[in-house]
Structure 1
């Protein structure tokens, strides 16, 4: 599969070939194993593209999946996409409008044909991008929430819940998007602080004894007012509770009520209550049995006449000059009428949270409509109990409390949407409005004929189900439910759900409710809740901020102008586009280099702590690209050390470095496995990094060179042991890293395994390493710790005194133990090689040696005579120059800190950073002074 490793590491040259190998070998298909492991891919929107959140989450799932597969488990990562009702319908509608067509002109059937056509042509984009990321899903099982099997299951669930009395139809307040003309879920509503006004309006008492001033941010809803509320303990108004007020403009009489919902400090402490147009007011209205009055049409215009949903009010007329106006035009007109009437007291500037639909950007309107609901109380109770019983574990554990809190406050779930794209509700209406909920239209006709005593014309409910309804069934319906399929028996309950904390309620809780209710089992045994990806500054990534990164751009690279064009595409505001363009050109003047998939994946793993917010920095990806390159070069070196005719399987003798690196490998294997088991991906990545970079590359490869150089005096068995260990440890480490960096490790493993004579067509189906801590050699560990400390001491002297790396260092030793003398004798060959140690002389315990640099290794004094090694005058000049530079920088920072204005205005973290810099410079100056003292001894 692989080409020669002679060339430098080039991710683009290896990635497609590796993925093709895995697909050709059916690696991702479940196979073998006495135990099973199953993960469900949270289905991304069919309209979507791979964003950073997807790439991060998919990487973590792939790490778990690849490891389980290598552990010999029968492993399934079930992929699929969500039909994304609102997003898909909007996308296709816009395409049609660009061609001069409208949805309603086409009709439902023709429009849906257009959507299916789009889905077939463009709906697989995100699946193709996931392949680029290395996702090892079983693509042969890919599902779609509107495919035939899942649609059948959705209908079955709806009908059963209705038969059990857990689905009903009712008129309640919902989030309404007046542009899309549909109810939307809380997750599809984004609230942000915006500038507005607070209007103070006078309501007069009907007995003529005075008036109250009510503060409101939505004066246009005044026509639907049914009461004014005050706090029951507000002494200003206690005497007025129970009296009535005359509603401005209309003159309708409404009561003054007491409710502790009112905030005494807000405005005047009097709140107008409009139950049909505010969620909090709705609750107040229910407590006080107030009428429900709807003043808006579905497109947020003033009705010709008030719709009395419940209760009675007498006159339902709306002033003629307000009829048909949209909500904001009616606001302007109504305020003018109030001003003429003398009821508008004052207007204040006010900041408030405005809810907008995440798709249409329209301001969401609380709106009373007939919708279908799931009565979730009984389902939530059972779903809470399985978590309390330990059948489902949340990681981190603190999310369990969040889950309980949500479940205890859960309300009935609105599951209908006024769209065409989606699962059409299986309900038919008779001529008198009687509802027949059945699995098919034929069944509905039979039921209606029996009810009416004759055949009648039925009309199907035009609404579709909330996308989250079908998603709630994902874990068991993708495996074949309602049929008891072999896959359902084999893989359900699934092993773990990997998800962000923002959809615990919207998706996780509902999957638990539905799974437990329809299968009698939990849908998954563990829920790993990860944080959300932020940019390097800790800001949420958004198009408006211009800080969005495309994972594919990080893999393939993108030039600066293309990146600017991508970030500003579709922005309607020229000022925003100009701002984003300027920032992008500043931060990425040359664009983003190609980092490759493995570097990106390893970067995701390395930030996957169990915190809520995860910062993503391109510097980290750059560093991990270097890490991949280091592994590549290490493998190239290891393979070059083994002649083609070398016998690796004869008698081998392991020297201390070999015994040490084998032990370090066992400890790395233990750390990585333990971290993955606990979903501590960052810890696993850190353990891999430390082993590869420090233990294997920086130390063991260098140690092995001493043995493997042609002129070495080691025995054939020792050389064979070093050669074999160099490759065998690398091969195991590649397997250990494979779930994190699949492409790099596959490519290298092919060559290393071939040289070792190992069988297997792909690393993806080899055994995942399991630590044998009995192989940790304590004596070798102690030897290498001593050796590294000795080498470090000599390197410190060389660095501090600016001695050329090529010059041998004579060494004087004093004190120490017998073990130090023994180790020096046994390990000196590596000391001479790694530290360029020259002649060694032991001094008597109290003997005075020549002027020298001193390092301590326990009780052992390591002295390096400096005479002849350095040019004292040149070194004085170098030290003086560096001392002046550091002193100048320290004076500048101290001067800045001494300014009161700086400490008052600068953020605390900036001040702390400057103070830390002063300490760093002080330490550096002290080190230079110590070096100067050493030079003085040579004069």
Structure 2
């Protein structure tokens, strides 16, 4: 028995109710122990985060997949959790302390970490509540956190095992250093901004009276960072550059420090760029670091001129003048330029003044691509430090083979090239961070620098004691061989203060969330996962690293398919950012249009490999789509149509019922194929057109007034199939309609069965109904073109009807009269006079227009409109064929011109057809 639906569709009234019902009743993971597993893990959002439009896209796609597979009867598990987000979370808590005139350093490490846990308990659930509002059917009963004890155990074990296997090591290398946060950060956390800066040219004098072939006693070098000359260790030139061949290997002087170093040959120096000579500061530039290594300079010997706050410190050779020490890098930049200028070593940049006169500037003005920390907001400094690294090159081998063999399928395939390009050129992965919040690195140091890596301090002490015993047990005699001991032979060990990069722990997400390192039933059943849905922007930072760790520790791929979606951009195609003021709040869209409308928009716009352009009008349109379905269900209720009791299609004898059953069969096949291919846009398009066009606009119209027992059974069954097929995309409205169309509280839609029509397409019924739809649709369009009122009754003439036409007309007279507004169809020649021609299949109808419209006036109107559209289309065509416009105009202007041209061209074609109808 059904419950009457409200007159209006109100998303807010049903969303919270149904989500609570699903979660409270454990319906996100029903008991299906023997069923085929299907597993997805969500990219864990930062615990500090709130739902942004990218999350909305990513999680909508995952929910569509998981709901689809759940409806197909699988043991569908969607693992959910949050990332502890080391830097972001520590910053949030530190800001809270600052607001209370407090700071982190007023506490011990343990006290501060407890404050972070307090914050997490009180405020760390924002994004999980918001995911519920989106309708995400995650297994909240097993919600994970990357700092949970079981997860921490997995992280520590992975670190220790990789270290013991020689795949984690400590090394001195350049890192992206954030001087505000005082930690290394990953490439992903670096944002490049265009900053107005300068390109300074300086003379470095050659030593010992050496001169260039040109007679010059110096080499001119150029730099955008003059302050780094305090740590210069070489000047590089190209070996083939004739200007400098004679001085390669000779010594040159750095004017400020007096440091002597060599002119060296390296491919990094480009003869075509600037002077062709480059100053080399290997301790403060990524390119220079590689040049220095090629020149045989060990990282340990590379000069460092900055402390953790990017203030100048003394270099190992003691040559930095005292007046620079302790000052900020940008203050020192100005001092260096001034000092070099005063000493005559600055080469001015000569440009033209307003009146064409020569003007000297200290530097050539340039826009510099400058790295900033996305969290700290200050310029990142390449800094030479001791950090922990993973040998990513070795771990990358197995994932590359998995992609080549098809064990991992990347969708869309076009991303494979990017994947291989990065993996084949992969660099060591820096995994240590100078923070207090995070997984503490399980390494302990002895006084002599010896390191002991173990899962616990007790195990580290045992290792230290074992080493001491092996080395003779006399540290006083050989202090360089072992750790100093307490009384009772207790080693004195200090734990590494650093924590692990959060990407290190999240790389274990596909298996550590399932209980690893314990060999749990959940792990055995749900690893490997089936699909990973991810933004392409974290392909390397997360996806590739999951593949590395999963294959290394589990011996299997972490997931069989990797689906990479694009970004959600503003309507004009620009990247969303707070600074541009074009960020869209998904929760605001949900408040306005409902979660179902936003979800359907995301699915419909998700075309493999392309970014999604935000379009609020489309979201509103999908709210209207839900309303249309709601009203169709109300119409069914009002006419005695309710829930179906059959999974298979009911028996049908009427053509219209046979036809709609066949349409369900075809839509289901189209939908299944799209889902198998991960074509979310095609899947959404298939169900949208079936619901709106086929069911609402045609089937319901065709059966009005003909509600016999068969039609009610078929209509109820079709509506059920719609609710099931649409449910993954629009879970709330479909569940509400499902519950109201019949008494089935113990059989909610979320765990219903995917359609199994057990029917085929009836070709004869399909041909009959499509011919009928063609007649009605074409006649309505012709009326609209000629300005004839939709309700005006006309007569039609069909002189030589096809056999199909005669049968369809004979069987569907009432529908033709009601929907086509044809009071009569004559199988005879049309009377003389103006008439419009209507084509349907191989039949052509003539509809007399005498007395219906003013033929000549209508012709004149159409001709004027046609001329206007043709003129506008030609003008736009000329603009679009002009390379100057296409190449120089703003992209949005070009796109608008193309859209306008397409509109006017189509309008001209329509008007020409209307004129042709008048003869």
Q: TM-score w.r.t. structure 2 length? A: 0.90
Contact 2:5-2:634 within 8 A present in 1 as well? yes
Q: Distance in 1 between matches of 2:578 and 2:685?
A: 32
Could you tell me which residue of structure 2 aligns to residue 167 of structure 1? 168
Shift of residue 458 of structure 1?
1.9
Aligned pair count reads 869
CA distances 1:394-443 after superposition (whole Å, capped 9, x unpaired): 11112222222211111211111000000011111222222121111222
Supply the distance in 1 between the matched residues of 2:655 and 2:641 (Cα, whole angstroms). Answer: 23
Name the CA distance, whole Å, in 2 between partners of 1:760 and 1:381: 50
2:616 is equivalent to residue 614 of structure 1: no
**Structure-2 residue corresponding to 1:339:** 341
8 A Cα contact 2:571 2:613, kept in partner? yes
Separation in structure 2 between the aligned mates of residue 521 and residue 881 of structure 1, nearest angstrom:
71
Change (3 A) 1:550 1:496: same
In the aligned structure 2, how far is the partner of 1:596 from the partner of 1:624?
10
Partner of 1:403: 419
Is residue 568 of structure 2 the alignment partner of residue 543 of structure 1?
no
- Note if contact 2:389-2:428 (Cα within 8 Å) is conserved in structure 1: yes
Superposed CA RMSD in Å reads 2.6
Match of 1:71 in 2: 72
**Quick check: 1:552 aligned with 2:573?**
no
CA distance in 2, matches of 1:66, 1:650: 23
CA distance in 2, matches of 1:909, 1:815: 48
Moved more, 635-644 or 69-78: 635-644
Partner of 1:14: helix, strand, or coil?
Answer: helix
Give distance in 2, aligned partners of 1:395 and 1:909. Answer: 28
Q: Distance in 2 between matches of 1:903 and 1:331?
A: 44
Match of 2:315 among 300, 306, 313: 306
8 Å Cα contact 1:424-1:463 kept in structure 2: yes
Q: Does 1:810 align with 2:795?
A: yes
Answer 1 or 2: higher relative contact order, Cα 8 Å, separation at least 6: 2
Quickly say closer, same or farther: Cα 1:894–1:737, change in 2 above 3 A: closer
| Stretch deviating more after TM superposition (487-496 or 830-839) | 830-839
Q: Equivalent residue for 1:728?
A: 717
**Match among 370, 378, 381 for residue 362 of structure 1:** 378
1:99 to 2:100 alignment: yes
Alignment CA distance shift 1:680-1:484 (3 Å): same
Aligned residue for 1:775, secondary structure, equals coil
Residues 424 and 28 (structure 1 numbering): CA distance in 2 closer, same or farther, change over 3 Å? same
Instruction: Name the structure 2 match of 1:443.
Output: 459
Task: Report whether the alignment pairs 1:391 with 2:407.
Answer: yes
Structure 1 residues 536-685: aligned runs within 5 Å: 536-556=571-591, 594-642=592-640, 653-685=652-684
Going from structure 1 to structure 2, the CA distance change for 1:918 and 1:852 (only over 3 Å counts) comes to: closer
Partner of 1:576: none
Does the 8 Å contact 1:226/1:273 carry over to 2? yes
Question: In the alignment, is the contact (CA less than 8 A) between 1:883 and 1:928 conserved in 2?
Answer: no
Instruction: Give the Cα–Cα distance (whole angstroms) in 2 for the partners of residues 885 and 833 of structure 1.
Output: 32
The CA deviation string for residues 477-514 of structure 1, in whole angstroms up to 9 with x for no partner, is 11111111111111111111110111111111111111
Give distance in 2, aligned partners of 1:439 and 1:651.
Answer: 64
Please tell me whether residue 460 in structure 1 is matched to residue 470 in structure 2: no
Offset at 1:351? 1.6
2:233 counterpart (226, 234, 241): 226
* Structure 2: unaligned runs, 5 residues or longer: 212-216, 349-362, 474-488
Match of 2:779 in 1: 794
Q: 1:914 to 1:738 in 2, by over 3 A?
A: closer
> Do the aligned residues in 1 keep the contact of 2:644 with 2:713 (CA within 8 Å)?
no
Question: Is 1:517 aligned with 2:552?
Answer: yes
Q: Is the 8 A contact 2:642 2:742 kept in 1?
A: no
Give the CA deviation at 1:721. Answer: 1.2
Residue 817 of structure 2 corresponds to which residue in structure 1? 832
Give the Cα separation in 1 of the matches to 2:785 and 2:103.
77
Check conservation: 1:894, 1:918, Cα contact below 8 A. Answer: no
C-alpha separation in 2, matches of 1:819 and 1:483: 69
Contact 2:221/2:277 (CA < 8 Å) preserved in 1? Answer: yes
User: Do structure 1's residue 16 and structure 2's residue 16 form an aligned pair?
Assistant: yes
Give the drift of 1:185: 0.6
For residue 668 of structure 2, give the secondary structure of its aligned residue in structure 1. helix
Please show how residues 670-709 of structure 1 align to structure 2 within 5 Å: 670-708=669-707
Out of 450, 467, 470, the position equivalent to 2:505 is 470
Decide whether aligned partners of structure 1 residues 823 and 547 sit closer, same or farther in structure 2, where only a CA change above 3 A counts.
same
- What residue in structure 1 maps to residue 752 of structure 2? 766
SS in 2 for 1:528: strand
Structure 2 counterpart SS, 1:707: coil
Which whole-Å CA distance do the structure 1 matches of 2:877 and 2:818 have between them? 48
Query: Residues 839-878 of structure 1: matches in 2 within 5 Å?
Result: 839-843=824-828, 849-870=832-853, 872=854
Cα deviation for residue 643 of structure 1 reads 7.2
Once the 2 structures are TM-superposed, how far is the Cα of residue 673 of structure 1 from its aligned partner? 1.1
Secondary structure, counterpart of 2:21 in structure 1: helix
In structure 1, what is the Cα distance between the partners aligned to 2:292 and 2:249? 15
Q: Per-residue displacement from partner, 1:140-195 (whole Å, max 9, x unpaired)?
A: 10010001110111111111111112111121111100000000011111112222
2:319 aligns to what SS in structure 1? coil
The partner residue of 1:321 within 323, 337, 343 is 323
CA distance in 1, matches of 2:903, 2:562: 43
Q: Is the contact between residue 603 and residue 624 of structure 1 (CA under 8 Å) also seen in structure 2?
A: yes
Q: Post-superposition shift, 1:374?
A: 1.3
Further displaced range: 649-658 or 87-96 = 649-658
Unpaired segments ≥5 residues, structure 1: 308-314, 557-593, 709-718, 935-939
TM-superposed deviation, 1:268: 1.2
Give the whole-Å Cα distance in 2 for the aligned partners of 1:380 and 1:743: 43
Alpha-carbon distance in structure 1 between the residues aligned to 2:581 and 2:3: 40
Distance 1:155 1:542 in 2: 37
Tell me the CA shift for residue 39 of structure 1: 0.5
Could you list the per-position Cα deviations for residues 881-926 of structure 1 after superposition, in whole angstroms to 9, with x for gaps in the alignment? 6765675676678779889999597555455456556545644654
Q: CA deviation at 1:445?
A: 2.7
- CA 1:859–1:816 in structure 2 vs 1: closer, same or farther (change >3 Å)? farther
Partner Cα separation in structure 1 for residue 538 and residue 650 of structure 2: 59
Q: What SS is found at the alignment partner of 1:277?
A: coil
Alpha-carbon distance in 1 for matches of 2:221, 2:266: 15
